[in-house]
Amino acid sequence: MVDLATTYLGLNLKNPLVASASPLSKNVDAVKRLEDANASAVVMFSLFEEQIIHESEELDYHLDHGTESFPEALTYLPDLKTYNLAPQHYLELVHKLKESVEIPVIASLNGATLGGWEHYAKLMEEAGADALELNIYYIPTDPKLASQDLEGAYARLVKRIRDLIHIPLAVKLGPNFTSLPHFATNLVNAGANGLVLFNRFYQPDLDIETMEVVPNLELSTSSELRLPVRWIALLYQRVMTDFALSSGVHTPEDIVKAIMAGANVAMSTSALLHNGPEYARVLVNGLANWMEKFEYESVDQMRGSMSQKNVADPAAFERGNYMKVLNSYNLRLP
């Protein structure tokens, strides 16, 4: 009998599969189904800083002011009165989920600036959240904003939230940083207990007939696993924190790769949305079957076995692999 138990953010989990942020977490019955199907924890959908600011009527003023001259200003953001759930309702849902399931419930805040909304981290803790995931989603567009200034602002935000709460704090990042190992270290030093790699940056499309920018959301595929696997394998035991792999977890083998790279947990959204909450059982049972087939006794035994912790010069290793990939393609002209 294999031991699937793992720890993440100090939480003892029965297996490494965590249901990451998705619309499933808006529904108590869906979360119960995830728990029944052996998901070990659930991350709630994000509460956005814009929603919190809107509730205090600060955003209303900035959006409404001058709309006679710039009516398009109101089209930048969705109707925040109906977007996801109002902040107070979000807190009530945290409390309701904690009463309804036994698996850990991880609340989620999505923001990128210091602006007073951070106090909701404390309110989420008070509502019963077992941990908090800070989802940093921001695309810098100001040519005058230097990368070190942006990263410093992120670290200050993490420290601010760390000072507000006692529950574990994970930070979910995108991959586009100049020196990710250095930045990751700074976030851990600022108080992050874990890093979630990676956030998916959803790219809008252009409607060339209506001349509008339109949302375009596509579910992930297993091919997206390669990016977080690569970085977790590079950072494992070089940045001393917990890692959650996010993006591209669709099969039991994807979970195996995540663990072997060094992840504490593998997070899945798209596969569960596409196949339903019960698909969690397929993933967990498939992981157990794979471990039995290859004679692994525990998840801890597997973790980091294919990381680069023992590679003397990871940068040279990555460059060598890059060269091998380019030379692996056999050109055959028609």
**100-144 tens-digit pLDDT:** 999 999 999 988 777 768 899 999 999 999 999 999 877 788 899
pLDDT at 330 over 90: no
User: Residue 204 carries which DSSP code?
Assistant: P
Q: How confident is the model at residue 207 (pLDDT cuts 50, 70, 90)?
A: confident
**Over residues 270-290, mean pLDDT:** 97
For the stretch 18-49, pLDDT in tens is 999 999 999 999 999 999 999 999 999 988 88
pLDDT at 74 over 70: no
pLDDT at 175 over 50: yes
Question: Do 16 and 259 form a contact (C-beta atoms < 8 A)?
Answer: yes
Q: Facing residues of 236 across strands?
A: 239
Q: How confident is the model at residue 55 (pLDDT cuts 50, 70, 90)?
A: low
pLDDT value at residue 317: 65
pLDDT at 163 over 80: yes
Question: Do 290 and 268 form a contact (C-beta atoms < 8 A)?
Answer: no
Is 3.40.50.970 the CATH number for 6-46+84-327? Answer: no
pLDDT value at residue 184: 97
pLDDT value at residue 38: 98
Q: How confident is the model at residue 332 (pLDDT cuts 50, 70, 90)?
A: confident
pLDDT value at residue 209: 85
What is the pTM (predicted TM-score) of this model? 0.85
pLDDT value at residue 58: 46
- Strands (DSSP E) along 20-152, which ranges? 41-43, 47-48, 105-110, 131-135
Q: How confident is the model at residue 71 (pLDDT cuts 50, 70, 90)?
A: very low
Q: Facing residues of 3 across strands?
A: 298
As a whole number, the mean pLDDT across the chain is 87
- In three-state secondary structure terms, 312 is coil
pLDDT value at residue 325: 67
Tokens of 286: 């498939």
- Strands (DSSP E) along 104-143, which ranges? 105-110, 131-135
The crossing angle, in degrees rounded to 10, of helices 252-261 and 226-235 is: 30
**Over residues 280-299, mean pLDDT:** 98
pLDDT value at residue 50: 75
Q: How confident is the model at residue 70 (pLDDT cuts 50, 70, 90)?
A: very low
Return the domain boundaries, the chain: 6-46+84-327
C-alpha 19/C-alpha 21 separation (Å) is 7
**Over residues 280-296, mean pLDDT:** 98
AA letter at 308 = Q
pLDDT value at residue 263: 98
AA letter at 322 = Y
C-alpha 226/C-alpha 229 separation (Å) is 5
**Over residues 258-276, mean pLDDT:** 96
C-alpha 148/C-alpha 152 separation (Å) is 6
pLDDT value at residue 205: 80
Where is average pLDDT lowest: 56-60, 148-152, 206-210, 263-267?
56-60
For the stretch 220-250, pLDDT in tens is 788 899 999 999 999 999 999 999 999 899 9
C-alpha 47/C-alpha 85 separation (Å) is 8
Greatest extent of the chain over all pairs of C-alpha atoms, in Å: 69
- In three-state secondary structure terms, 194 is strand
C-alpha 260/C-alpha 291 separation (Å) is 12
131 vs 314, higher pLDDT:
131
